[in-house]
């Protein structure tokens, strides 16, 4: 017998109609997002992670609700989607999850703005950008991490974290947060203590 996994999407999965879905299926979640973010995150989702991440999180939970909250053997998510999966699995309340997502998105955007230079691109594993990256862009770009079996992320940064060698985040795109935002991000982790017990 097979295993069923419910997978929640990460950043970049936004669609033009996602606000409509949330408004129709979960208007209470839309109100909660307005309260926590301070304004409608859907209206500014294209401006950065501060707004995109809460909007995607709400759309993920509304989409799950629209499907009549299917259960699975596993609840999982890609990056940002991990938090929606924790809510769906009952590990976090919707409020706690949305507060963490809002904090995460805000910190990622601030981090990218402070870094001032850099970015990330996901490309097929055999894409020409990735072939020969060591010769063509030495010192300017590096493989960030494999996101999927079929893709790799290539990050470019003005200054990499000297201790870890991992790149900073530009405008909250996928990658590693610089050290200066890790403490602030860790402060939001209190709500996730159930992870060690599940």
pLDDT per residue over 26-85, tens digit each? 999 999 999 999 999 999 999 999 999 999 999 999 999 999 999 999 999 999 999 999
CATH class entry, domain 5-113+180-197: alpha beta
Residue 145 neighbours by CB under 8 Å, 6+ apart: 152, 153
How far apart, in whole angstroms, are the C-alpha atoms of residue 15 and residue 93? 25
Q: What pTM was estimated for this model as a whole?
A: 0.67
Pairwise pLDDT comparison (94 vs 117), residue with the higher score: 94
pLDDT confidence band for 140 (50 / 70 / 90): low
- Could you state, in order of their start, the residue ranges of all structural domains in the chain? 5-113+180-197, 115-176
| Percentage of residues in the chain having pLDDT higher than 70 | 59
Give the residue from 54, 135, 139, 145 showing the smallest Cα distance to 95. Answer: 54
pLDDT in tens, 142-160: 555 555 554 444 444 333 3
Give the residue from 60, 70, 50, 72 showing the smallest Cα distance to 10. Answer: 60
């Amino acid at each position: 017998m097979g295993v069923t996994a419910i997978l929640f999407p990460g950043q970049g999965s936004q669609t033009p109609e996602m606000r409509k879905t949330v408004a129709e299926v979960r208007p209470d979640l839309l109100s909660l997002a307005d309260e926590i973010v301070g304004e409608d995150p859907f209206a500014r989702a294209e401006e950065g992670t501060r707004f995109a991440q809460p909007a995607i999180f709400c759309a993920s939970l509304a989409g799950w609700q629209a499907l009549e909250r299917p259960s699975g053997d596993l609840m999982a998510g890609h990056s940002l989607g991990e938090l929606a999966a924790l809510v769906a699995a009952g590990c976090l309340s919707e409020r706690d999850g949305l507060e963490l997502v809002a904090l995460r998105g805000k910190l990622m955007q601030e981090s990218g703005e402070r870094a001032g230079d850099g970015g990330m691109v996901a490309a097929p594993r055999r894409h020409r950008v990735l072939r020969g990256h060591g010769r063509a862009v030495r010192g300017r770009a590096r493989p960030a991490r494999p996101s999927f079996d079929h893709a790799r992320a290539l990050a470019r940064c003005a200054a990499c974290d000297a201790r870890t060698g991992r790149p900073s985040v530009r405008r909250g795109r996928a990658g590693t947060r610089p050290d200066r935002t890790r403490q602030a991000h860790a402060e939001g982790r209190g709500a996730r203590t159930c992870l060690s017990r599940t």
